[in-house]
Amino acid sequence: MVRSLPEWRRSEMADMARALTIGTLLALLAFVLWIAYDQWAMVSVDIPAWGWVAILAGGGFSLIVGVGLMALMYYSERHGYDERAQGPERDERNG
């Protein structure tokens, strides 16, 4: 016979799982940032001003495209463009 856990126990387990997930993701982020900084500091390359402009322009353009596509997706969904097309029923025998 399987006994279910009390509600307060399930809530504690969910909170612990959430805390472990957030802690793991933060640790992974810290590790990646540490590696990125270490690699950046190990290689000393002087980037000219036009290089920084190109990097920032490329990042900004990518951000604009991403935000624009997400906005189009939400607009399309809210205005019914994603609904299934309603056409005449096809007869399976006639193709």
- Please check the confidence at residue 12 and state whether its pLDDT lies above 70: yes
> For residue 47, what are the contacts with CB-CB under 8 A and spacing of at least 6?
55
Confidence (pLDDT) at 57: 97
Please say if the pLDDT value at position 1 is more than 60: no
Structural domain boundaries in the chain = 1-45, 46-83
Q: Are 73 and 66 in contact (CB under 8 A)?
A: no
pLDDT single digits (tens) 43-73: 877 889 999 999 999 999 999 999 999 999 9
CB 13 within 8 A of CB 5: yes
